[in-house]
Structure 1
Amino acid sequence: MQEDISILKGLHPGIVLERELKKRKLAKGSFALSINEFPQTLGAIAKGKRNMNTALALKIEHALGIEEGYFMILQVFYEIKEEKRKQYSNQHPDLSKLRAILFWDTKMEKIDWQQQKRAVIQRVFERGNDQEKEEVNRFYGKAAVNQVLKNKTQKKDAS
């Protein structure tokens, strides 16, 4: 289970549940009824619109023969990911020092600067000017930037 969880960290447990039900060829509606739950509840969870709760997680795990606590662990990791996303959403480099043309394929206000750190660093260091590189170094730190650039060079050398 630990191996599965490290791969699935940050995914909503509903996505994993949906996949598990498809794999077992179980319809969400009839499965929900079989565990005395409303099909709408299970549907909302499977779509990621509603969080998993402990009582429901235990019912699902018991019915599917999955280790107890599996879905709640996924729920906690999902909530951690979402909380980090909220905390970091206001943290970004000084956008006045970055040209929008560097990110021609996306809106700069939509960039998740932490999640897409590697791509941002690579793009700025491939196409950016000195001021933009300085700002990326300031925002991420020189050690992080050097690590990303070093990894990129190693991947190039390996191919």
Structure 2
Amino acid sequence: MSTLIEKYKGIHPGIILERLLNQKGISQRPFAISIGEYPQTINAITKGKRKLNTALALKIEKKLNLEEGSLALLQTYFEIKEEKSKLEQNTPDLTLLRKSLFWDTDISKIDWQQQSIAVIKRVFERGNDIEKEEIKRFYKSARIKEALSNETRKPYAIYKNNENV
């Protein structure tokens, strides 16, 4: 078991299950029926969309002659990896950003790294000085220049007699 755990630690057990079934030439549907589960359940697990509970892990391990607890441990290590990545996700100081700035989304669910360009553009278009400073601190100047350099839209400005006020 230790080799299986060390080799696949942090990977969703459903992916390992799919590999094992493919290696043995077993289709998911007949396998699911043979252990008394819905095929949709096994499919969702092999796609990594659903957790593998302990009872089901024991059934699968018994049917595939795996060491007891190996898939359940893989699920636990996968959940640990997920939690660590959540804790390590850097976020700007949300107390300095108005929620109304992100009116169309849940601010707690923003992926600040993946959606950095959209966040930077929005804050620099609609944010106040405090919010802009927080985004500058969080993203650093190189990323901000990159995000704003592709901006074709001019910032809001008031014009009076064709002169910028």
Which residue is equivalent to 1:38? 38
Which residue is equivalent to 2:90? 90
* Cα 1:96/1:82, change in 2 over 3 Å: closer
Q: Mapping of 1:70-89 within 5 angstroms?
A: 70-89=70-89
List alignment gaps of at least 5 residues for structure 2.
93-136, 148-165
Q: Distance in 2 between matches of 1:87 and 1:80?
A: 11
Q: Distance in 2 between matches of 1:79 and 1:71?
A: 12
Normalising to structure 2: TM-score of the pair? Answer: 0.58
| Higher Cα Rg, which structure | 2
Paired residue type of 1:60? I
> What count of residue pairs does the alignment treat as equivalent?
104
CA distances 1:13-53 after superposition (whole Å, capped 9, x unpaired): 00000000000000001100000000000000000000000
1:4 Cα deviation after fit: 2.1
> Normalized per residue, which structure has more helix?
1
Paired residue type of 1:85? S
Which residue is equivalent to 2:60? 60
Structure 2 SS opposite 1:99:
helix
1:7 Cα deviation after fit: 1.8
Q: Distance in 2 between matches of 1:62 and 1:102?
A: 56
Q: Mapping of 1:2-151 within 5 angstroms?
A: 2-90=2-90, 94-100=137-143
Preserved contact between residue 4 and residue 70 of structure 2 (Cα < 8 Å): no
Paired residue type of 2:140? K
Q: Distance in 1 between matches of 2:77 and 2:144?
A: 35
Structure 2 SS opposite 1:51:
coil
Q: Identity over aligned residues, as a percent? A: 50
Structure 1 SS opposite 2:71:
helix
Q: Distance in 2 between matches of 1:96 and 1:58?
A: 46
Paired residue type of 1:22? N
List alignment gaps of at least 5 residues for structure 1.
105-159
RMSD: 2.2
Q: Distance in 2 between matches of 1:48 and 1:102?
A: 37
